[in-house]
Structure 1
C-alpha cells in the first residue's frame, strides 16, 4: 500500500506515516547504515520502500539476488499468507539472510508482515527489524502528540 503513499499524502490534509520512516529511524538510532530488505518482489525491487530508505534516510540497502528474491516472494504468497509455516522455507530464509550478512548487511528489515511468522531473532545472526511493529509504535507516538524523528 505504501507504493501509493505520495499520492495519498497529496490528497489529504493530515500527515501520512510512511512505514519506511520509523524503520529507518530505529535503524539509524541503533547506529546502523548497511541493511538488507526482505519482502514481496514489489517491496524488494521497486523504489517506494528501498528508495525511500536510501534517499531520505541515507541507508545502504541490499536485497537478495534474483533467485532468492523469487524464493522470498513465493514463500510469502504461496505459504505464509495461507498460514503455512514450513521448515524448508525457514531454512531457505536463513540461507538468504546469511548470504546478505556475508555481503555486509548489519541488520535485516522484515518488510512484509507475514515474514515474522517464519523468521525470528534465533534465525538471524544480525538484528531483525519488524516493520509492522515499528510502524504501529510510531503511529501511537504520533497520535499521542509526541514527536517522531522521521528525518533521521
Structure 2
C-alpha cells in the first residue's frame, strides 16, 4: 500500500473530512481492520492566507515544499493537497518533490466526463474561479466552465475564509449560495462543481436541481485508488 502525505490545515475543517473519507474508502475496499497509511501535515491557515492574499505564492510554495520534504522523511509516496486553491502550485510541487501529486481537478474532470456533462458552474475561492489551474483540467476534457459574476465571486471568497474555513455554517449564507447556483443553472450549467473543500459541508445534492461534484469526496476517492496501487 502507498503511504499518503496529506497537506492540510487550509482549513482544518475539510482536512478532517479527507481523513475520514480516505480511511472509510480503503476499509470499504479491503474490509477487516484495513486502513491506509498516511501522515498529516497541518498548516496554520493564517500564514497561508497572508501570503496568498498578497499574491506571494512563492512563499506559499516554499512552505508547502518544506512540509512535503519533511513528510518524505516519513516515507510518503504520494501527496494529497487538501484544498482546491492550493492546487495552483501542484504541478511545480510534483516536479520539485519527485512525488506524484493527486490532482483534485483531474479527479473532478474525470467524474464530470463520466456523467456526460459538457458545461458546469464552478464555485470556490476567487483563485479557483478566476485562475486557470483548476479550469484547465476540465477544458482538457472538453468541459466548459462558467463562474459567478464579480460580486458573487467576492461573496463566495469572503465567506469561505470568514465562515466556512472556521466551521461556521449560516443558513443566510447557504441561501445566497443557492441563489448563485440557480443563476449558473439559468446560464446553462448542467452541473455544479463545489470547488472549495468546505462547500460540501454547506451544500448537499438534495439542495440543487442538477448534479453537484463534491471535490473533497472525489479527491479522497482518487487518493484511495492511488493508495491501493
Please identify which structure carries the higher strand content. Answer: 2
Q: Same fold (TM over 0.5)?
A: yes
Question: 1:49 maps to what in 2?
Answer: 134
Count of equivalent residues: 144
What is the TM-score when the length of structure 2 is the normalising length? 0.61
What is the RMSD computed on CA atoms of the aligned residues?
1.1
Q: Which runs of 5+ in 2 are unaligned?
A: 1-85
Counterpart CA distance in 1 for 2:169 and 2:227 is 34
> Are 2:209 and 1:112 aligned?
no
Counterpart CA distance in 2 for 1:5 and 1:81 is 21
Tell me which structure has the larger Cα radius of gyration: 2
Q: What SS does the corresponding residue of 1:61 show, helix, strand or coil?
A: strand
- TM-superposed CA distance for 1:12, in Å, is 3.2
Q: What SS does the corresponding residue of 2:180 show, helix, strand or coil?
A: helix
Which has the higher relative contact order, 1 or 2, with Cα contacts under 8 A spaced 6 or more apart?
1
Q: What SS does the corresponding residue of 2:173 show, helix, strand or coil?
A: helix
Q: Which runs of 5+ in 1 are unaligned?
A: 146-152
Q: What SS does the corresponding residue of 1:48 show, helix, strand or coil?
A: helix
Matches within 5 A, 1:54-93: 54=139, 56-93=140-177
Counterpart CA distance in 2 for 1:103 and 1:4 is 30
> Are 2:207 and 1:123 aligned?
yes
Question: 1:38 maps to what in 2?
Answer: 123
* 1:22 alignment partner, one of 99, 107, 121: 107
- TM-superposed CA distance for 1:98, in Å, is 0.4
